[in-house]
Chains A and B, each alone.
Chain A
Amino acid sequence: MRALKSAILSAAFALGLAGAAQAAEGVHIPSQDWSHDGVFGTIDKPSAQRGFQVYKEVCAACHSMHLVPIRTLAGIGFTEDELKALAAGYEVQAGPNDEGEMFMRPGIPADRFPSPFPNDNAARASNGGALPPDLSLMAKARVGGENYIYAFLTGFEDPPEGVNLMPGMNYNKYFPGHQVGMPNVLVPDGVTYSDGTAATVEQQAHDVSVFLTFAAEPHLDARKQMGVKVILFLIVLAGLMYAVKRRLWSTIH
């Protein structure tokens, strides 16, 4: 029993500490329901596709996503032809050509999403000194993950009384420190969904959060599916080995 007790304690130790590390981070982020939650959860592909539309029409004006190749979108149901058409809509820098000049060519699916600014300094200069962070890993790079993205996008409001907003800043109740250079960008019907879904602010925030979750972890579905199989197999193997162990040890007690 002692053995069990200390094993459990040690595990609790590890888990508790990680929890503590995360609890120390401040503002409480409310959790949303996601189809990709849980052991059997998978990415909601139609929602992720709508989320991509929000990214493309709203976010991409300022935010890069430079670690994600366009072909990745095959994972949320884009066909090869759709990907080609989509990629061709982007201009990608290539070169140098025989004259030594860089030139622009239409994108191909193997290209990564082009960034809206040539470098970080240009991005700062166009955004009042604030650098719009890259979105490739946003869903894994903030405490709260996709819940944080949703909370942030729906968290813009008028500053409470007594809060002195710095010039060019906006108030967001979920942003650490509450003052953020990014304005509220989601407005009702700011995008028009081709599948007829009503583009409320909440819907857009939800969809783009799903999309960014996928963009940060394109193998999420494969990972969970493999996990179920691996753990089932290990449970069966453990059961068999326990039976063998019992059988062997029964001869000496």
Chain B
Amino acid sequence: MAQAHTPKFKNPVVNWIDSRLPIFTMLDHEYNQYPMPRNVNYLWAFGAIAMVMLIVMILTGLFLAMQYAANTQVAFESVERIMRDVNYGWLLRYVHANGASMFFIAVYIHMFRGLYYGSYKAPREILWILGVIILLVMMATGFMGYVLPWGQMSFWGATVITNLFSAFPIIGDPIVTWLWGGFSVDNPTLNRFFALHFLLPFVLFALVILHTAALHVSGSNNPLGIDPKGPQDTVPFNPYVTIKDGFAVVVFFIFFAAFVFFAPNYLGHPDNYIPANPLVTPAHIVPEWYFLPFYAILRAIPDKLGGVLAMFGAIAVLAVLPWLDTSKVRSTKFRPIYRIFFWLLALDALLLGYAGAMPAEGLWLWLARLGTAYYFFHFLILLPVLGKLERPLPLPASISEAVLKPKEKA
């Protein structure tokens, strides 16, 4: 990476280190000079916001882990001790619990931005697939974290989700027993979930570094979806994008703080303040909101194995998205027909999420089925076909041309 032999940095110590281990050259290259398309909008800040949320989660999680005890006898009480007795323990826990939701909000917006502007298309396929893997690891981490307080929802959520694996023929039951380390969700399960919940965020961090490395090969996409043609189309990352992202992070923190300080339990479930009881199942088992669309897909299929496959398939289909979308044009801005279907997909995700929160019966069950059908239709049929049929609007010649022209309605 570092070929320059002339001193680059004013500080001799920095230079000395850099000529032996070029981390400063790398940082300078990736976070200072990195050319960013000048027309990116605030949706591009959600990558940085998600990164900041990951750091917030790791930090609060580390300090909570110093107080938490992963044992079914004391887990619930140790969390209450954090809430009542540990200095600022309530703050750390509420930031961590709501931070999980904020992390998912940021990542979901980040994903929909990628969908809208075609950021998954060549040459960014691996970048996108890494993102899907990050989402999967996040889901596993979030799920296991929700088990740790050992409340009713923790216990029954763990029971229901681990039972998903029992849907597989023959190997299903041994897998579930292996996951549990016993014949039900119990102390061994809690203990291993804690160990994994502690480990996975660091795996996430490594994946994020790969995600960023892949991004910096192809460069960032932009609302027009066309490649920058030269320096006139870009700005250096620092200071222009650092300050823009920084501003977005602070605004996001206002939203975050509103939950932490004024509605800390709004995104949670009251049943999780009741200690786990293996003999009594709560009336409605509902996963955390960020799983609801997938939960709706699970319940929409009347067959156990089919439901599980559909749910995992809903995420797997995202991984092959770069090859399902046949359109040569990236940005939905220039695809008037697809734009309608994009918003349909967004509505579909909302519908599935809402249906996932309702009891799986009557109208809601049918709406969930409709939503599931559209979800797979969208990715598996609509995207490949529409890409061939649709005639996109003419693309501008370059970013700078589009930016400098008097703005017309897109």
Interface of A toward B, CB cutoff 8 Å: 2-4, 6-7, 9-14, 16-18, 20-21, 24-25, 39, 67-69, 72, 133, 136-137, 140-143, 145, 176, 216-219, 223-224, 226-228, 230-231, 234-235, 237-238, 241-242, 244-245, 248-249, 252-253
Contacts and interface: CB of A to CB of B under 8 A. Distances in A.
Nearest to B254: A234
15 contacts: A12-B350, A17-B354, A18-B267, A18-B289, A24-B357, A25-B284, A67-B84, A176-B283, A224-B261, A224-B262, A227-B258, A231-B261, A234-B257, A237-B250, A238-B254
Contacts of A218: 84
Interface stretch (B101-109, B131-139, B194-202): B101-109
Residue among A2, A242, A252 with the most chain B CB within 10 A?
A: A2
Q: Which 4 A-B pairs have the closest CB atoms?
A: A227-B261, A141-B273, A20-B357, A241-B247
Chain A contact residues: over half helix, strand or loop, or mixed? helix
A120 to B, nearest CB: 10
B123 interface: no
A235 B254 CA distance: 7
A242 B246 CA distance: 9
B353 interface: yes
Contacts of B349: 13
Interface string B258-273: 1011101111011101
Contacts of B270: 140-143, 145
Nearest to B264: A223
Given A14-B267, A17-B356, A249-B244, 5 more contacts: A6-B112, A14-B290, A69-B84, A226-B91, A248-B239
A157 B105 CA distance: 45
Interface string B43-75: 100000000000000000000000000000000
Contact of A7 (B43, B258, B359): B43
B286 interface: yes
B178 interface: no
Contact of B105 (A11, A137, A252): A11
B257 A21 contact: no
B258 A13 contact: no
Interface residues of B, number: 61
Contacts of A2: 116
A137 B257 contact: no
Contacts of B357: 17, 20-21, 24
A46 to B, nearest CB: 22
Nearest to B84: A218
Interface in B269-328: 269-271, 273-274, 283-284, 286, 289-290, 292
B274 to A, nearest CB: 5
A226 B266 CA distance: 18
A69 B80 CA distance: 11
Given A67-B77, A237-B250, A10 B243 contact: no
A248 B91 contact: no
A224 B258 CA distance: 10
A167 B35 CA distance: 76
A159 to B, nearest CB: 22
A176 to B, nearest CB: 7
B354 A16 contact: yes
Given A13-B353, A140-B270, A227 B244 contact: no
Nearest to B261: A227
Contacts of A68: 84
Interface in B344-367: 346, 349-350, 353-354, 356-359
B113 A6 contact: yes
Interface string B157-199: 0000000000000000000000000000000000000000000
B243 to A, nearest CB: 5
Contacts of B353: 13, 16-17, 20
Contacts of B250: 234, 237-238, 241
B41 interface: yes
Contacts of B77: 67
A238 B261 contact: no
